[in-house]
Structure 1
């Protein structure tokens, strides 16, 4: 995991001294991208679980028969 103290940041400033951009070493950027993709995949899984739980909640409110886990897995 990348932490602030691990990054070798180079700040780019305008004529007034305001920071307008930052440069990081390519290896840090590649590691950041890899970690970002892993986090994005985890969030997609969690969003899917959240959606499934909402569907179960709605089905229960309507007294609909729910598919069992075994039935679901047998479809795959």
Structure 2
């Protein structure tokens, strides 16, 4: 199997890797923002604490939903 480099001229493998990387980074940022909003709402008026486990679970669920949406948008039906 041929190794992919980011600056290939003849093949578009590097472009595909860069697009996938950008999609992953955007999904992580969106998931982080959604998780932080959920944390603020959860801790708004009560003495409840948003634990580390809840943070990562919310982040994972949000990331999975972002992955489903991006897969639908990029892959089509």
How does the TM-score come out when normalised to structure 2?
0.50
Gaps of 5+ in 2: 1-5, 58-77
Equivalent pairs counted in the alignment come to: 50
Going from structure 1 to structure 2, the CA distance change for 1:67 and 1:57 (only over 3 Å counts) comes to closer
Question: Runs of at least 4 residues of structure 1 off by over 3 A?
Answer: none
Match of 2:24 in 1: 41
Q: Partners in 2 of 1:64 and 1:40 — Cα distance? A: 36
* Bigger-Rg structure (1/2): 1
Q: Partners in 1 of 2:36 and 2:51 — Cα distance? A: 14
In the TM superposition, what whole-angstrom CA distance separates every residue of 1:1-50 from its partner, at most 9, and x where no partner exists? 66xxx96xxxxxxxxxxxxxxxxx4x2x2211110001101111111110
Q: Partners in 1 of 2:47 and 2:28 — Cα distance? A: 25
Gaps of 5+ in 1: 8-24
The structure in which a higher percent of residues are helix is 2
The structure in which a higher percent of residues are strand is 1
Per the TM alignment, residue 62 of structure 1 is displaced from its structure 2 partner at its CA by: 3.4
Cα RMSD between the aligned structures? 2.6
Matched, 1:66 2:17: no
